[in-house]
Amino acid sequence: MMKPWTHRVVKRAHGAQGEMFDFPTAATFGNVDAALDYAAVFAAEQAAVGGAQIEVRTRAGGWTGHRGDTVAMWRAGRRVL
């Protein structure tokens, strides 16, 4: 049986009208350390993309519409949270 994921990595960017939106989830992980490691590499790869933001989020739990809590964030390849 596969272990359920607890954290996910998401790329955010500004849309055509200036609002932030989420790209589809880049990856999911069973622990925060693995998610942080992946996000750091992903953020470095996306550093040149203007306005891109990489986030590590917790699993929201259920169909509440809640997107999960942000536990880490990168902008321009630098961790800011």
- Terminal C-alpha separation, the chain: 33
- Rounded to two decimals, the pTM is 0.88
Tokens at residue 71, please?
Answer: 């536990």
For residue 61, is pLDDT > 90? Answer: no
pLDDT at residue 1 in the model: 60
Do the strands 53-58 and 27-29 form a parallel or antiparallel pair, or are they unpaired? unpaired
- Neighbouring CB atoms inside 10 A of 54's CB total 27
pLDDT at residue 3 in the model: 74
pLDDT at residue 71 in the model: 96
5-56: per-residue pLDDT in tens?
999 999 999 988 989 999 999 999 999 999 999 999 999 999 999 899 999 9
As a whole number of angstroms, the distance between CA 52 and CA 58 comes to 20
